[in-house]
Amino acid sequence: MIATRAGGENEMGTTRQLRDRLIGELPVIERMIDARGARTAVLEGGDGTPVLLLHGPGEFGGRWMHVIPDLVADHRVIVPDLPGHGASDSPSDELNAAFVIDWLDALIERTTDEPPVIVGHILGGAIAARFAIERPDRLRQLVLVDSLGLAPFRPSPRFALALLAMLAVPGKRSYEHFMGQCEYGRDALAEAMGPVWTLLREYLIDRARDPASRAALRALMINVGIPAIAPGQLERIRVPVSLIWGRHDRALRVSIAESASERYGWPLQVIEDTADDAPLERPAAFVQALRHAMALTVTVGEDSAASKGGI
């Protein structure tokens, strides 16, 4: 058991109790490590080629709950909470690109003896891409999932309004409305997940109400997530890169991925019947796409047959 930052309490339990119930059945252990001075909560499990999963903004490592059990069957899976997210601490006044690159380098140093495949989702994708530019020898491969950083952030008006409402007044109503923009079929997903959906909602709302978490989210988005990475910088990535995207992403449209695939020669797989959260909404299709991506040996600049089919 690890200590977490102070949080709230509601009818479903304390912050720690909510978290324990969400990750308690996953085939991983949880521990706290120090990464560049930030106490970081990390889920770890399995053996084999290391795969490091970086979650999206306002989330936590347990958000990968539907794909972790499959991946640990033949990979060493490393799933941190980003700085200031979930149970991880952070010096919010230092949350910029240089800090998170050093943080990720230290995290890799303390969790695996070989360069991992890094899979970055939304904000995690922007962090992973910036890391691949600066520390190419520290990762084996890069997989970007509905990633920020590849183009200016111009979400649909409905998505933007739902996001602003959730940030301004985190609660059940604003969360459900926002998830309606993030998921292709929110109601069906909530029904399928049952009580776990409610636990996830309550935990993420709890974190969104925490002042330190809000400050960290704001700093990471402003300094790392929202700014587009210059094409000349993206062209510096020398490890194999693959893209996985949801067909109905309302924040980062699939055209962004299509343009990046064409410009940089990065193979793209589009997952049907999902928006920006295929790992939660369509985990089987996502794992299939991820395994296909990890099997590729394509390097940047080669004339490859980029996969642009739907799954």
pLDDT of 305 > 50? The answer is no
Query: Nearest CA to 104 among 22, 287, 115?
Result: 115
Tell me the torsion sign for CA atoms 103, 105, 110, 115: positive
Q: How many structural domains compose the chain?
A: 1
Per-residue pLDDT tens digits for 186-216: 999 999 999 999 999 999 999 999 999 999 9
Q: Is residue 209 part of a domain?
A: yes
- What separation in angstroms does the CA of 308 have from each of 242, 261, 268? 11, 9, 5
Q: Is residue 302 part of a domain?
A: no
> Could you tell me the CATH number of the domain that includes residue 128?
3.40.50.1820
Per-residue pLDDT tens digits for 28-38: 999 999 999 99
Q: Is residue 3 part of a domain?
A: no
Average pLDDT over residues 152-157: 95
**Confidence at residue 90, expressed as pLDDT on a 0 to 100 scale:** 85
pLDDT of 89 > 50? The answer is yes
Q: Is residue 64 part of a domain?
A: yes
pLDDT of 6 > 80? The answer is no
Q: Is residue 67 part of a domain?
A: yes
Q: Is residue 214 part of a domain?
A: yes
Q: Is residue 107 part of a domain?
A: yes
Q: Is residue 179 part of a domain?
A: yes
Cβ-proximal residues to 271 (8 Å cutoff; 6+ apart), any chain:
244, 245, 246, 247, 278, 282, 285, 286, 289, 310, 311
Q: Which domain covers residue 283, as residue numbers? A: 9-295
- pLDDT band for 297, please (50, 70, 90 cuts): low
Average pLDDT over residues 62-71: 98
